[in-house]
Amino acid sequence: MSGTLTTRARPPVVLADLASGTLVRDAALIGGAAGLVGALAQISVHLSFTPVPITGQTLGVLLAGTALGWKRGTAAMAVYGLAGLAGVPWFAGHESGYVGASFGYILGFVLCAALCGFLAERRADRTVRTSVPAMIAGEAVMYAAGVAWLGAYLHVGPARAIALGLTPFLAGDAIKAAIAAVALPGAWKLARREGSPAERDPG
């Protein structure tokens, strides 16, 4: 038996691991994910009966958290929130600073990305069957934070807060969750088809 040791490349845990590099890669991914959410925030529709706008942000948060894993996903959403508070105009409608009634959702983005990333690291993003509940779970914690903040900000009860901060957005966010739940397994299939043997891990 030869004394030479052979090593196998470590299979990627989340999609971001397919990119080469370490600290520079992670910094670029975190900044890019924050920028993606900021760009999608500008897809914004204000409703007359609630202070919370419809935006594309949730899709970006779901994709970022799941693709980056919980640490990088959490960091990306923290960068998004802190930079927005510091004056970067990438909240909905090019707003920045403390956005009042909507600020709970920005806090919820951090929780959503963390949970989606945690589940992705346990292979929840490899198939549509497992990806759908992961996306729903991420949206659930996001809305829990957002609706709770909204109720406290407006001094209204839970039923009113839900009517203003959850019910109007269910259909749109169901579509966003479905898009993310299909996109992530699709990206894994593409990576396994075109990547190296280490990337073609079973899943």
Element (H, E) at 155: none
Sorted by where each starts, the structural domains of the chain and their CATH numbers stand as 18-194 (1.10.1760.20)
Residue 106 host element (H or E): helix 103-120
The CA-based diameter of the chain, rounded to the nearest angstrom, is: 76
Q: Do 143 and 174 meet the contact criterion of CB atoms below 8 Å apart?
A: no
Distance CA 185, CA 133 (A): 13
pTM of the predicted structure, to 2 decimals: 0.87
Q: What is the mean pLDDT of the chain?
A: 89
Distance CA 115, CA 120 (A): 8
Tens digit of pLDDT for each residue in 9-41? 567 788 888 876 788 889 999 999 999 999 999
pLDDT of 3 > 70? The answer is no
Res. 194: pLDDT tops 70: no
Instruction: Say yes or no to pLDDT of 1 above 90.
Output: no
CB 52 within 8 A of CB 102: yes
pLDDT tens digits, one per residue of 135-152: 999 999 999 999 999 999
Structure tokens at 80: 């998004």
pLDDT at 4: 44
> Does 162 score more than 70 pLDDT?
yes
The tens digit of pLDDT for each residue in 37-56 reads: 999 999 999 989 999 999 99
